[in-house]
Amino acid sequence: MYRDDTWLLAMDLATPRGILVLAGPGGTYHREIAGDSRVSQLFVAAGEIMSEAGTSPGELGLMGVGRGPGSFTGVRVAVTAAKITTAVLDLPLVAPDSLMVTAAGAGDEKKAVFVAVDARRGEVYYALYRLDGGYPAALMEPCVAPPEAAATALSSWLEREGAGIIGVGNGIDAYPRAWPVGMEVESGEWPEPEGLARLCRLAAARGECIDPVHLLPLYLRRPDALWRYGGHERGSSC
């Protein structure tokens, strides 16, 4: 059974800023895992931060992983590594979507949090959340679409709800002219290690642990190779 005073190991490799986090009684430690070295460096980095923390795999009490959407390779590596580690060490596992991970680092419960992550091909992964005790509850589920379509969906929500919104994620910077006028943009490097660790603990406390056998990556479109050689259509996919 999960206890919140044990060590947590969590990762999210869905974006160019892949992160690996170890959090527990001795503090929080993290590493950034570059996109071109995720397979070779992930377990090396895990060993390094455990050594820094003075702990070992046997002291872990919870495993967390961002399940996408995002980089196909990054998401696949992270989900596979989490499933293997969880099975070997017999740990509870939580797997929030990676847009939730970014939203969890925004830290303002008075406004909705709009997350946009550059998906390349002229598209963004996007979703809208309301932070409830630090936990991002979805107001719009994760989708992929051109930024203009994402902005239209966001504007419709704004007109209907009349609420304030904070925009976060590298998709905001990638398409700065696409978003509704007046949206507050929170700068930073996303996702944040502290946000990932906090979200994983909140998810476990809410009973959202998942059997690793049933964990699947969250993909919202076909891999780049299939898109490049098999043709494509622009539009929204949720």
Res. 204: pLDDT tops 60: yes
Break the chain into its structural domains and give their ranges: 7-97+191-230, 98-185
Strands 165-168 and 112-120: parallel
Query: Which of these ranges, 48-52, 147-151, 162-166, 193-197, has the smallest mean pLDDT?
Result: 162-166
H-helix or E-strand containing 92?
none
> Could you tell me which CATH class the domain 98-185 is placed in?
alpha beta
Residue 1 pLDDT class (50, 70, 90 cuts): low
> What is the mean pLDDT of the segment spanning 66-91?
95
Cβ 6 vs Cβ 213: under 8 Å: no
Judge whether 7-97+191-230 and 98-185 match in fold. Answer: yes
CA 197 – CA 129 distance, rounded (Å): 18
* Total length of the chain: 238
pTM: 0.91
Return the SS3 of 164: coil
Name which of 220, 208, 168 is nearest 64 in CA terms: 208
Strands 60-65 and 27-33: unpaired
Say what the pLDDT of residue 223 is.
Answer: 63
Does the structural domain 7-97+191-230 have CATH classification 1.10.357.10? no
Res. 224: pLDDT tops 70: no
Q: How far apart are the first and last CA of the chain?
A: 34
Say what the pLDDT of residue 181 is.
Answer: 86
* Per-chain mean pLDDT for the chain: 90
